[in-house]
Amino acid sequence: MQLTRIIALDHASHAAGEWISEISDDLGWTDRHRCYRLLRATLHGVRDYLDVNEAAALGGQLPTLIRGIFYEDWDPSTGPAPEQDMAGFLGHICAEFTDPPLADPERAVGAVLDLIRRKITPGEYRQMHDAMSRSVTGIWK
């Protein structure tokens, strides 16, 4: 299906839709907007826990529209989050879900992290994983 008749833009839209569909399938969610919100919140949570260089390396592996979501509202001068623990990481993401809240935040965020693992190179995934606090990476596969 062509949306714009510009191959790069149509491909970017299709790739983003595939990511949302995979989250929907993995979690059994039918609300695609909720899947998008989870993807966005998790990407921002990961980004905010990485140093600037690692965040840029991860961003370079993401499809165009997903990369835009990843960088949305980012202020790289703030550096990684000072307190890197599981409660803070999940709290950052759960703040986006108040009505209704995430029933199982670890499962939901874990599904997005697993999707990222499947979509980027193994080397970049290891670097991203290793750059995060051990307490945060406990839910990663």
Q: Tens digits of per-residue pLDDT, 82-122?
A: 777 889 999 999 999 988 999 999 999 999 999 999 999 99
Residue pair 29/108 in contact (Cβ under 8 Å)? The answer is no
C-alpha span between 93 and 95 (Å, rounded): 5
The verdict on residue 2 lying in a domain is: no
Find the DSSP H helices in the chain. 7-27, 32-49, 52-59, 64-71, 86-94, 105-119, 122-131
> Is the bond preceding 100 in cis, omega lying within 30 degrees of 0?
yes
The verdict on residue 51 lying in a domain is: yes
Is the full-model pTM beyond 0.85? yes
The verdict on residue 53 lying in a domain is: yes
The verdict on residue 114 lying in a domain is: yes
Q: Tens digits of per-residue pLDDT, 68-86?
A: 999 999 999 988 887 778 8
The verdict on residue 1 lying in a domain is: no
**What's the domain count of the chain?**
1
C-alpha span between 59 and 120 (Å, rounded): 10
The verdict on residue 134 lying in a domain is: yes
- For residue 56, the model assigns a pLDDT of 95
By residue range, what is the domain housing residue 86? 7-139
CATH of the domain at 105: 1.10.490.110
